[in-house]
């Protein structure tokens, strides 16, 4: 897929923050419309109006069903019209 196939599409991103023992510390979900695609990142405008957020990008994103309704765990908000989803586990730096 080329970059223009992603720009303007809606993305839902799940972030799971883990502690040094691998236990979940926090889960966060963000969504919005993709504004740019680079060689290694995708940027999107967060739907809450708080600015842009970037995620790593390897040339592909998982497709989503735009008819599906996603309920965000962190806020209870219902999100529809999602074209792509991505999720990441975030580990603390070594030694922390």
pTM, rounded to two decimals: 0.90
pLDDT averaged per 10 residues in sequence order, the chain, 96 residues: 85 96 94 95 96 93 95 92 96 82
**Residue position matching structure tokens 């074209």:** 83
Is residue 17 a contact partner of residue 25, using CB atoms and an 8 Å limit? Answer: yes
- Per-residue pLDDT, 74: 80
* Structure-block tokens of residue 56: 């790593």
């Amino acid at each position: 897929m080329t970059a223009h196939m992603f720009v303007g599409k809606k993305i839902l991103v799940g972030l799971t923050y883990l502690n040094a023992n691998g236990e979940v510390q926090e889960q966060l979900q963000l969504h919005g419309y993709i504004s740019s695609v680079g060689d290694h990142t995708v940027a999107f405008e967060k739907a809450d109006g708080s600015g842009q957020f970037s995620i790593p990008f390897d040339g592909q994103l998982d497709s989503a069903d735009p008819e599906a309704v996603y309920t965000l765990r962190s806020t209870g908000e219902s999100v529809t019209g999602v074209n792509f989803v991505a999720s990441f586990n975030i580990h603390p730096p070594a030694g922390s």
